[in-house]
């Protein structure tokens, strides 16, 4: 269904065609040109006449006046001129009915669509590294990717979520060597990744004193590469231990993957890539290593093989890209990875293009995000500047539980709701700002439950649920939409009607923060409405019914929005 804005845009277009049949260069859908006036008393939408003024050679105010005189859609809106602008004031009663009908009929699918039907999007996100504890450096990619997957699903795309595990490289040989010297199975089984990291640190310390260890580490990695039984079984066990820890975090966050094919998965597929690069004449020798020269494109060479024949991160990513194309036949392949890897991906896409894969130009996309620091310092395990995700989520849940126990001692399922609220706080704060913005992690902000936060939005949703629970049965009467003819309700209706557009913008720009913004605006507008109006008014059942329908619509859309960013919406808090 069209929203009110599109309806107004359509009528405006017809008006322009009537008044200025010669007008040129207008887009089919004018809604993109409709602005939101800075002040509400100027109307709900404004159409600037400046572009038309150039092609029509008339002053903008004259055009605005001519259009105003001819605009004739009273069921939608009234038009007024203000300088070079034509301002539209929506027809409230009608707008309320059509918006609420549409939102409530769509239910959980308000804003959903089928434009993605038949198209596949691969999303590479989270992509953690084996033998490293899951830390906040991987929080953004995890929640951004999870949200984007949900948004694309919602628009009818088929999505494939991929955790491209960092599970290949000489460090795993070193870890095995370290384990052989100083490790034991039980300690690692009990201590998890933390213990594995200790072994790796110890290995590096000892290797400084005894360089022969380096050779041992390399030898173990060679064994992994050659499929040696013992090496592989230790390596696989390291992986299991890491994934078991990570799974706990994914479970709490509600994050799932369709595939865990990581770097090691491509180890036996890189040979073919190297061969293809060779055949296409793209490989050149550089001090014994093999590289693709990218100087012409202003980039350093892309390393394909080291002088000892070992593959690199790029080599495996090339194999992965081709594998994904062949396996999933994607229309888009997204890499949700920090902007530090910008060069890596530009090189990757360029090499694919040089190999003759034109789709790399349009279908591959690095969805970059900002850097995470902790109280102004770059994250570093070595320097102890680090926050682990299990710890963060644990603390968030504990804090939520404290607050719930204090404020709603009789609530059932306190623990489960504390999980939803604690996670809500963390996820929301990660998706609150545009993704490219750097995040300086601060405990007080991540655990903040007041102001514009996840728990605040969740709380508003629970408030709507509570209002609806208290509502009398009004099924036998008709709603009086005139009861919604006030600024607070109209604001809510506008936000509801714009939600589908927001979802599309979020998908186009890969920006879940647009949806975070939308649910926050809705929550704020609902609370304003709630303080200024009585929803349940015994003497006015028809008006009450209209306010209840509005409440239900707000509840649905907040829930949908939260779901799309990966936050749950408890009915009671």
Catalytically annotated residues:
132, 135, 138
Strand order in the sheet with 302-305: 283-286, 289-292, 302-305
**Which residue's structure tokens are 């992690």?**
441
Residues 226-245 that bind ligand ARG (CB under 6 A): none
Distance CA 333, CA 362 (A): 10
Nearer to ligand ARG, 264 or 497 (CB): 264
Nearer to ligand ARG, 127 or 556 (CB): 127
Nearer to ligand ARG, 307 or 340 (CB): 340
- Cβ at position 258, least distance to ligand ARG in Å: 15
Nearer to ligand ARG, 79 or 337 (CB): 337
Residues 425-454 that bind ligand ARG (CB under 6 A): none
Distance CA 222, CA 23 (A): 71
Site string for ligand ARG, 150-189 (x = CB under 6 A): --------------x-x-----------------------
- Cβ at position 126, least distance to ligand ARG in Å: 9
Distance CA 101, CA 108 (A): 13
- Cβ at position 162, least distance to ligand ARG in Å: 8
Site string for ligand ARG, 363-402 (x = CB under 6 A): ----------------------------------------
**Which residue's structure tokens are 């107004």?**
8
Helix spans in 155-269 (H): 170-182, 185-191, 193-209, 212-226, 229-253
Nearer to ligand ARG, 4 or 162 (CB): 162
What long-range pairs does 551-555 form, CB within 8 A, spacing at least 24?
A: 551/464, 551/467, 551/468, 551/526, 552/104, 552/464, 552/468, 553/99, 553/100, 553/103, 553/104, 553/110, 553/496, 554/464, 554/492, 554/496, 554/522, 554/526, 555/461, 555/464, 555/465, 555/468
Give just the sign of the alpha carbon dihedral 51, 57, 61, 65. Answer: negative
**Which residue's structure tokens are 């992986």?**
239
Q: Name the helix (H) or strand (E) containing 505.
A: helix 487-509
- Cβ at position 166, least distance to ligand ARG in Å: 3
Distance CA 235, CA 242 (A): 11
* Residue 481 near residue 93, CB atoms below 8 Å: yes
The count of C-alpha atoms lying within 13 angstroms of the C-alpha of 61, restricted to the half-sphere facing its C-beta, is 2
Angle, alpha carbons 196-168-130 (nearest 5°): 35
- Cβ at position 297, least distance to ligand ARG in Å: 20
Which of 98, 127, 140, 490 is the binder for ligand ARG (CB under 6 A)? 127
- Cβ at position 307, least distance to ligand ARG in Å: 23
The CB-nearest residue to ligand ARG is: 166
Residue 123, classed as helix, strand or coil, is strand
Instruction: Give the binding-site size for ligand ARG (rule: CB under 6 A).
Output: 9
- Cβ at position 129, least distance to ligand ARG in Å: 5
- Cβ at position 252, least distance to ligand ARG in Å: 20
Q: Which stretch binds ligand ARG (CB under 6 A): 32-40, 121-129, 187-195, 376-384?
A: 121-129
Residues 6+ apart with CB under 8 A from 523: 456, 457, 460, 461, 558
Q: Which stretch binds ligand ARG (CB under 6 A): 52-60, 102-110, 122-130, 562-570?
A: 122-130
Q: Which stretch binds ligand ARG (CB under 6 A): 123-131, 176-184, 371-379, 489-497?
A: 123-131
Nearer to ligand ARG, 311 or 551 (CB): 311
Nearer to ligand ARG, 83 or 300 (CB): 300
Site string for ligand ARG, 476-515 (x = CB under 6 A): ----------------------------------------
Nearer to ligand ARG, 337 or 464 (CB): 337
Nearer to ligand ARG, 168 or 514 (CB): 168
**Which residue's structure tokens are 């979020």?**
506
Which of 53, 58, 94, 129 is the binder for ligand ARG (CB under 6 A)? 129
- Cβ at position 236, least distance to ligand ARG in Å: 18
Q: Which stretch binds ligand ARG (CB under 6 A): 124-132, 349-357, 375-383, 506-514?
A: 124-132
Helix spans in 510-572 (H): 513-532, 541-565
Give the CA distances from residue 365 to residues 139, 317, 341, 509, 510, in Å, rounded to whole numbers and listed in that order: 20, 13, 12, 11, 10
Nearer to ligand ARG, 234 or 320 (CB): 320
315 binds ligand ARG (CB under 6 A): no
Nearer to ligand ARG, 127 or 430 (CB): 127
- Cβ at position 259, least distance to ligand ARG in Å: 12
Which of 317, 480, 521, 568 is the binder for ligand ARG (CB under 6 A)? 317
Residue 452, classed as helix, strand or coil, is coil
Residue 131, classed as helix, strand or coil, is coil
Phi and psi dihedrals of 358, rounded to 5?
A: -65, -30
Distance CA 414, CA 406 (A): 11
Site string for ligand ARG, 71-110 (x = CB under 6 A): ----------------------------------------
Residue 160, classed as helix, strand or coil, is strand
- Cβ at position 344, least distance to ligand ARG in Å: 7
124 binds ligand ARG (CB under 6 A): yes
CB atoms within 10 A of CB 218: 16
Residues 320-339 that bind ligand ARG (CB under 6 A): 320, 335, 337
CA torsion angle for 290, 295, 298, 302 (degrees, to 10)? 0
Question: Which residues lie near ligand ARG (CB under 6 A)?
Answer: 124, 127, 129, 164, 166, 317, 320, 335, 337
């Amino acid at each position: 269904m069209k929203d009110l804005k599109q309806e107004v845009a359509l009528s405006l277009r017809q008006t322009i065609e009537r008044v200025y049949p010669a007008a040129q260069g207008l887009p089919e859908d004018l809604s993109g040109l409709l602005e939101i006036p800075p002040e509400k008393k100027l109307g709900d939408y404004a159409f600037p006449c400046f572009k038309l003024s150039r092609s029509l050679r008339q002053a903008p105010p004259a055009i605005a006046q001519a259009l105003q005189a001819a605009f004739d859609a009273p069921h939608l809106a009234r038009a007024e001129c203000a300088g070079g602008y034509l301002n539209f004031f929506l027809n409230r009663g009608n707008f309320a009915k059509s918006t609420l009908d549409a939102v409530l009929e769509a239910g959980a699918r308000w804003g959903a669509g089928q434009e993605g039907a038949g198209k596949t999007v691969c999303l590479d996100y989270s992509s953690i590294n084996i033998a490293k504890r899951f830390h906040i450096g991987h929080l953004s990619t995890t929640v951004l990717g999870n949200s984007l997957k949900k948004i694309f699903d919602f628009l009818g795309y088929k999505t494939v979520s991929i955790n491209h595990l960092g599970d290949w490289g000489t460090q795993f040989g070193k870890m095995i060597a370290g384990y052989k010297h100083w490790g034991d199975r039980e300690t690692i089984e009990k201590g998890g990744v933390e213990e594995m990291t200790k072994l790796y640190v110890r290995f590096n310390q000892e290797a400084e004193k005894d360089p022969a260890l380096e050779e041992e580490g390399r030898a173990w990695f060679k064994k992994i590469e050659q499929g040696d039984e013992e090496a592989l079984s230790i390596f696989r066990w390291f992986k299991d231990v890491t994934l078991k820890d990570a799974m706990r975090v994914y479970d709490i966050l509600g994050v799932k993957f369709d595939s865990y094919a990581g770097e090691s998965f491509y180890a036996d597929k890189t040979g073919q890539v190297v061969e293809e690069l060779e055949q296409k004449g793209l490989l050149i020798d550089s001090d014994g290593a093999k590289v693709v020269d990218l100087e012409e494109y202003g980039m350093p060479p892309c390393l394909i093989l080291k002088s000892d024949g070992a593959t690199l991160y790029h080599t495996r990513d090339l194999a992965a890209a081709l594998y994904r194309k062949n396996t999933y036949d994607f229309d888009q392949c997204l890499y949700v990875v920090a902007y530090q890897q910008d060069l890596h991906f530009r090189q990757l896409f360029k090499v694919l293009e040089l190999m003759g894969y034109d789709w790399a130009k349009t279908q591959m996309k690095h969805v970059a995000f900002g850097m995470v620091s902790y109280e102004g310092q770059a994250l570093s395990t070595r320097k102890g500047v680090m926050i682990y995700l299990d710890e963060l989520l644990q603390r968030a849940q504990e804090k939520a539980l404290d607050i719930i126990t204090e404020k709603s001692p009789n609530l059932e399922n306190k623990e489960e709701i504390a999980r939803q609220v604690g996670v809500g706080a963390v996820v929301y704060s990660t998706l609150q700002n545009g993704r490219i913005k750097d995040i300086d992690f601060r405990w007080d902000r991540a655990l903040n439950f007041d102001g514009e936060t996840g728990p605040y939005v969740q709380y508003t949703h629970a408030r709507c649920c509570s209002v609806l629970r208290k509502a009398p049965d009004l099924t036998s009467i008709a709603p009086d939409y005139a009861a919604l003819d006030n600024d607070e309700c109209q604001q809510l209706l506008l936000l509801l009607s714009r939600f589908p557009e927001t979802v599309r913008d979020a998908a186009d720009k890969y920006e879940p923060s647009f949806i975070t913004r939308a649910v926050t605006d809705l929550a704020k507008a609902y609370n304003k409405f709630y303080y200024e109006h009585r929803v349940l008014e015994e003497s006015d059942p028809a008006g009450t019914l209209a306010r209840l329908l509005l409440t239900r619509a707000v509840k649905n859309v907040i829930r949908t929005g939260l779901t799309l960013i990966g936050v749950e919406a408890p009915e009671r808090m």
